[in-house]
Amino acid sequence: MTPYILFLSAEHFHFSGVMAVVSGGLFMSFRAHEIFKTGTTRINMTGVWNTLIFVMNALVFVLIGLELPDIINGLGDISLMEGIKYGLIISLIVIVVRLLWIYPVAHLPRWFSEKARRDPSPGWKNPLIIGWAGMRGVVSLATALSIPVMMNSQAEFPMRNLIIFITFVVIFVTLVFQGLTLPLIIKLTKIGEIDHILPSHEQQAGIQMRLDKLAVHKLDNEYNDAVNSNGLLENLKKRWKVISNFTRIISILLKCVPTDEMIWQNIIK
């Protein structure tokens, strides 16, 4: 019901209902960790939303294909080639402007904040990748389609079809041209990870060690009497302590002795 309430409320006060729904969705995404608190809920939510996003994106581009002939016919005195030319010019401006502002945004905070300087420098490669990854899509189309057909004077909104057509061209250029060339740029720049990421077998050992610590801690604090009077629980506690100590040793060896990942995975198991 939330999208309908946002849309109708915005339209009632003569604002853009489409942009209200988009803004509400961004707010919900930002606050999702507060609304969906349990891990099971978040996992289910992620699966559902990934499916819905895929379906909605497909429907949006089907809408583009259905609307495009009517938009082209409504260009009026402007020819198709002129519309494409305008769209290519705007696409070039969009790409260049994004690349121009991404570098100051990435580097200027390091000049004014000591905390920002503690993080690794983004260099020139990371801003280039971020700038080149600025594809346009659903939000751009929603913004263009939110332009009213008629103004308050009951006159048609000037150049509405041209604006929507230019938006179609920008979406196509950024998705196809930038999307297809992005892997090539990543490969040519030979970009690496800024943050140190542990190998999967080291992450698995660390997670196992923390889980064993939590299990022993819970038994000591909440079930201490039951453990002392129950041989099975006492043996289980001793086993977890042994596993925790063994995993700690394994995690230390992983940092000191380079070896095959599969060997360590078999040892942990």
**Which residue is associated with the tokens 């002795």?**
257
Q: What is the structure's pLDDT at 85? A: 92
Question: Up-side HSE of residue 76: CA atoms within 13 Å toward CB?
Answer: 8
Residues in the chain predicted with pLDDT less than 50, given as ranges, are none
Q: What is the structure's pLDDT at 93? A: 92
Helix (H, G, I), strand (E, B) or coil at 151: coil
Q: What is the structure's pLDDT at 256? A: 61
Percent composition of the chain: helix, strand, coil (DSSP 3-state, to 5) = 80, 0, 20
Q: What is the structure's pLDDT at 73? A: 84
